[in-house]
Amino acid sequence: MNWTRASRLPLIQQLLRTGHADFCEILIDNFFLVPPVEVRRALGDVPVAFHIMHSRFLERDDTTLAAMASRLRLLARELKPLYISDHLLRFTVEGREVPLLPELEYGHVYEHARQRVGLWQEMLGTQVYFENYPSLLEIGRDQPAFFEALVADTGMGVLFDLSNAICAWRNCGVKPDAWARLLPGVKHFHAGGYDVLPEPSTAFDTHGGELAGDTLQLMQETLAQARQATTLCIERDRDVGFEAWSRDLVAAREWGGRHAH
């Protein structure tokens, strides 16, 4: 499961202690200055991963990015994460901060993204796994091909978010099988609840509520194709409690186990 803030530590520890989860993905932005020894004291020997939300590596100046990378390398040396993941998205529009982080205009930014992905991986000294976006608009149709090209050109990995893929399918018709060429090599997965707003019907990735039936069905189908699947992180950021989160984790184990290998 994902650990996003210090106040949720007792719940994280309970889910680990009861065996509902066996690794913890840390939103490392919120633990950036926490000594690694304190993280280990809190989690014990449980495997961890790093998920980055606000690196802004596509937009941030190189000097600031290098300082961030230096700290992340130190944390990684001490905590030995299973993977480091990030996002391919925008944080500003025409220099202004926006509340809903927009999707990239894939047809116009490839070369810039290719250069920055390469630089960010070089700074961190490791392969970085990038999460697919829960597309809202028609530009989302170009996302799978954009990821394929970046994987080929930069060696980056893909963190495939199953519920984000469902949102993109609902919103702009990008069927999950558009990712089929990448799935055999995907090692790391996310899933979480999403909300649907009416008029017009729009699906939003909220990490709230139970895992939807279509997400669980896609989980089963996708893991049958993902020959290198290693981790599945079940995200909860709303209505967070032991009973609800443990039901998600039990469902994920059940559905995730219904595949051919």
Q: Where are the domains of the chain?
A: 2-256
Q: What is the DSSP annotation of 2-25?
A: EE--GGGHHHHHHHHHTTS-S-EE
In the three-class reduction of DSSP (H, G, I as helix; E, B as strand; rest coil), residue 71 is classed as helix
In contact, 20 and 250? CB cutoff 8 Å? yes
Residue 193's nearest CA partner among 177, 180, 206 is 206
Rounded distance between C-alpha atoms, residue 174 and residue 164, angstroms: 11
What phi and psi, each to the nearest 5 degrees, are found at residue 198? -85, 165
Question: Which CATH homologous superfamily contains domain 2-256?
Answer: Divalent-metal-dependent TIM barrel enzymes (3.20.20.150)
Count of residues in the chain: 261
**pTM recorded for the entire structure:** 0.95
CB atoms within 10 A of CB 56: 18
Percent helix, percent strand, percent coil in the chain, to nearest 5: 50, 15, 35
Distance of CA 40 to the CA centre of its chain: 22
Rounded distance between C-alpha atoms, residue 135 and residue 244, angstroms: 26
Residue 135's nearest CA partner among 102, 113, 86 is 102
CB atoms within 10 A of CB 6: 12
What phi and psi, each to the nearest 5 degrees, are found at residue 75? -60, -40
Q: Quick one: pLDDT at residue 261?
A: 35
Mean per-residue pLDDT pooled into runs of 10, the chain (261 residues): 97 97 97 97 97 96 98 98 96 76 93 98 98 94 98 98 97 95 96 88 87 95 90 94 96 78 35
Q: Quick one: pLDDT at residue 224?
A: 85
CA torsion 107→110→111→116, rounded to 10°? Answer: 150
